[in-house]
Amino acid sequence: MADGYTTVGKMWHPSLYIGSIIDKHDDRVAILPPRIKESMPSPEPKPGEAGWLYRVLEPYYSRECVDNVMAAMLEGQISSGASWPRKLAAEVCSLYQVPVALPTSSGASALHVALLACNLGPHDHVLVPTLTMVAVANMVKMVGAKPVYCDCAEGSVNPGVAELKQKATPRTKAVIVCHTYGIACRDIAAISELCKEKGWWLVEDICEAMGTKADTGELVGTFGDFAVTSLYANKPITAGDGGWVHAKDQKHHDRLKSLINHGFDPAYHFLHFETAPNAKMNGLGAAFVCSQVKMLPRLMQHRGQVANWYREGLAGITELRCIEQRQIDAPWVFGVETKDRQTRDKLRDHLAAKGIETRNYFYPLHLEPVNFYGDDVGVYDVVLPRAESLAQVGFYLPTHSFLEQGDVQYICSILRSFYQADSAVSAPRKHGWVDAERSKLLTPS
Ligand SMILES: Cc1ncc(COP(=O)(O)O)c(C=O)c1O
């Protein structure tokens, strides 16, 4: 193929995704270099005929959420300008003890406006973890800056100070810390100090770490200039889709408010002093999630129990390593790491055959195909060995608010039966059990 990028050469805004000029999956993959092809994820395992008995994540909410949506509808309070987004902001400010919080349409849009508020642009570098969700790099690119990918620290899913320093350049202007999988970044306090010393912005992406506590006991999301989160349906509390951005300093309020709302100015309607997206959350979503904020500490306590049950249930399987354990161990998702890639894939198939859904650890962002062609060509050629190795062997198990000890014991027994024939116990649940539990939560009292 001509310069090795695409069938038509280098495109200005290249996308090889569905509907673009290369619409066959195999053709898109065929052009990738061996380094990506050899490490890219295998196709996802399928459940047995009965379907999934345990989904990896489940949305959890109560009757109060439904009642609040009904109240919003009856009062006509359904838009971003309604009272519910303001009530949600007040709940967030109270939980995180911050003066500024603004509900957004998603975690990605929250990150977008936080990065815009940092005034980042072309030529600026932003240090980001490579083992995280693609929205992190996408939003850096959306503001015109360049993501610089950092490896994980030894024994961690997050980069530490050393990994950030190693990738810093004279053009570094900001750092995004992600607390991946709800594992608090163990160096967060030191990273915050480093950012102050260097004059870098610190944005904490707590999309996977809402309610997570650092080793010091403080909530993550209170160390950075800005924190952003996601309220997508797989998160411990949810609006279906949504998120928020919060800031430690009151001075950011007006700018963030403008940035989430087309650059509207409170003094002059239809006179715009900056270009900005519409990143606001609608009133129905805010009404739905508002009462969940106060549930978060209880939900995180339960996450801690789930982690504990998994650690107990998997103890003694020498070939399986459990995800990094911090002082306050309550991950959003509970991960395990096998000895090699083949075992990981076979073990996931084994669990899927029993209706247990799992998800691979992230594929490192620097290896994503978008970094092979177009303006980011060459980025994939960097080697970040710890993240690359974790991506080959790691995956996470069902972790959600409906799970009880018997469920985790069952899942652990299926894992054990992969390594030691004969140890599986019988399933404590029938298909559809989560929907039945959810309808109990939604029954009017
Ligand atoms: C670390 C991280 N950042 C950003 C996002 C984007 O959030 P959303 O899907 O709400 O846009 C996610 C999504 O889960 C995430 O995991």
Count of alpha carbons within 13 angstroms of residue 398, beta-carbon side: 27
| Residue 133 beta carbon below 6 angstroms from any ligand 1 atom | yes
- pLDDT tens track, the chain, 445 positions: 333 344 444 444 556 655 556 667 777 788 888 999 999 999 999 998 899 999 999 999 999 999 999 999 999 999 999 999 999 999 999 999 999 999 999 999 999 999 999 999 889 999 999 999 999 999 999 999 999 999 999 999 999 999 999 999 999 999 999 999 999 999 999 999 999 999 999 999 999 999 999 999 999 999 999 999 999 999 999 999 999 999 999 999 999 999 999 999 999 999 999 999 999 999 999 999 999 999 999 999 999 999 999 999 999 899 999 999 999 999 999 999 999 999 999 999 999 999 999 999 999 999 998 887 666 767 778 999 999 999 999 999 999 999 999 999 999 999 999 998 877 789 999 999 999 999 999 998 7
Judged by phi (left if over 0) then psi (alpha if -120 to 50, else beta), residue 40 lies in beta
| Candidate CATH numbers 3.30.70.2190, 3.40.50.150, 3.90.1150.10, 3.30.565.10; the one for domain 296-442 | 3.90.1150.10
Per the CB < 8 A criterion, the answer to whether 352 and 46 are in contact is yes
Packing angle, helices 296-314 and 405-419, rounded to 10: 30
Query: Looking at the whole model, is its pTM more than 0.85?
Result: yes
Does residue 137 have its Cβ closer than 6 Å to ligand 1?
A: no
For the CA of 230, the closest atom of ligand 1 is 10
Nearest alpha carbon, ligand 1 atom 9 = 107
Neighbours of 245 (CB within 10 A): 28
Q: What is the largest CA-CA distance in the chain?
A: 72
Cβ 205 under 6 angstroms from ligand 1: yes
Q: Domain spanning 63-294 has what CATH number?
A: 3.40.640.10
Tell whether ligand 1 has an atom less than 6 A from the beta carbon of residue 132: yes
Q: How far is the CA of 133 from the centre of ligand 1 (A)?
A: 6
CA–centroid distance, 109 to ligand 1, in Å, is 9
Verify whether ligand 1 is closer than 6 Å to residue 145 (CB atom). Answer: no
Among protein residues, the one whose CA lies closest to atom 7 of ligand 1: 107
Find out whether the beta carbon of 120 lies less than 6 Å from any atom of ligand 1. Answer: no
Instruction: Enumerate the domain spans of the chain.
Output: 63-294, 296-442
